Structure 1
Amino acid sequence: MEETTGSTEGPADAGNRVLDGAALKALAHPLRIQLLEVLSSYGPQTASSIGKRIGESSGSTSYHLRQLARHSLVREVDRGSARERWWERPPGSLTLSTPELEQDPTTREATRQVNRQFERGRSEALAAFMAGGCESVPPEWADAAVIATMNAYLTADQLAALTHEMTGILREKLDAYRSEPGASGTRPVQLHFNAFPLIDPQESS
């Protein structure tokens, strides 16, 4: 399973990192997922600026950022004054599950916790946009947004081929539009691509 949330800076195909058990366990904390998502969405931040976004103290965010940095999930970036430490998420995607990790009950549970937190963040972001409707963003941004659901019957091989192809297309296309965080006329944008087999309750009854 691949978590394709990427950094706002750098090319979308900057690389894929397969997390080891230690990194997974370090990430399996709700606040650390939030820190990673803020850096992914808004670019480099200080512990204080992240804390203001998510309602946490700078002491708490600073501690958890350092723990993420121990596993190279975030890194310091040279900007601002010497009094402020800035952090960023390295570009690229994260693979959270491999057959080897799934064999270990501890890392398997850590993977599930991380995936649940990522999905909760995605759901909350979408819910916030839908709740505000056209009033939450300027009209041109509301017109440019789309929420789409498509259904199909596929084999496992077809689904694997489709997800691989579509993920590659999204990454390639995104590079043509990628801007620096804070560039004039830009705002954070999140892209979702979900493809999965539906579980029919009648089949398990």
Structure 2
Amino acid sequence: MSASRPVRRVDRQALQGLAHPLRVQLYDALVSEGAATASELGRRLGESSGSTSYHLRQLERHGFVETDPARGTGRERWWRATEEDLRTRGADFEDDPSAAEAYRILDTEWARSRRGRHESWRASRREWPMPWREAAGESTSHLRLDVEETAELMAEVVALMSSWAERTDGRDGDPRYRSVEVQANVFPNGRPPGVSTD
């Protein structure tokens, strides 16, 4: 097993550098699909390579992406996401309206990206070989938990995903492996405590 991936808690300055719709999409694409050039990302996202290059450099400035030294030539620069797990919490930014808005943009774009990839899988799954269709799945559970148990559950989910990330590190470029996305949302249902149902 490889060493634990570093965890980066996104601070206000880094948040401002990431909280742009195209930057979130670029970062998300590099995390979910691996290294790519600005031109390739531009084609994938419907943007010019000039625009993607500019925003990739901004992401690099804030430490979210880096050049992939194993790929590319003098004129062709390959980008990859830095090897760290990002952690953000909206509660960390609620006392600063500018930071709270930046977090809202980030959160909205990440949710849109997750939904988009899930919808793409659902639309194309009949085109995948049967072993992949049988291996993939969807599950929803409804549990009766208090706030401490909810936090404990979320921590266990994060720890499980981190252990799998460590176990599978270094598989880029091997055609036997695909990027597999695990989406886990842990949240309370219904109205917040103290909010009338009238």
User: TM-score if structure 1 supplies the norm length?
Assistant: 0.86
Cα distance in 1 between the residues matched to 2:152 and 2:91: 19
Show the 5 A alignment for 1:1-205: 13-78=4-69, 79-97=71-89, 99-133=91-125, 135-200=126-191, 203-205=196-198
- Does the 8 A contact of 1:68 with 1:74 survive in 2? yes
Task: Identify which of structures 1 and 2 has the higher relative contact order when contacts are C-alpha pairs closer than 8 Å and 6+ apart.
Answer: 1
Q: Aligned residues: percent identity? A: 36
Q: Partner residue of 1:7?
A: none
Moved over 3 A (4+): 10-13, 200-205
- Does the 8 A contact of 1:76 with 1:86 survive in 2? yes
Cα distance in 2 between the residues matched to 1:113 and 1:140: 37
> How many correspondences in the alignment?
195
Query: Gapped runs of 5+ residues in structure 2?
Result: none
Over aligned residues, Cα RMSD in angstroms? Answer: 2.1
Report deviation, 1:197. Answer: 0.6
Cα distance in 2 between the residues matched to 1:199 and 1:51: 40
- Does the 8 A contact of 1:16 with 1:93 survive in 2? yes
Cα distance in 2 between the residues matched to 1:12 and 1:33: 27
User: TM-score if structure 2 supplies the norm length?
Assistant: 0.89
Cα distance in 1 between the residues matched to 2:77 and 2:63: 16
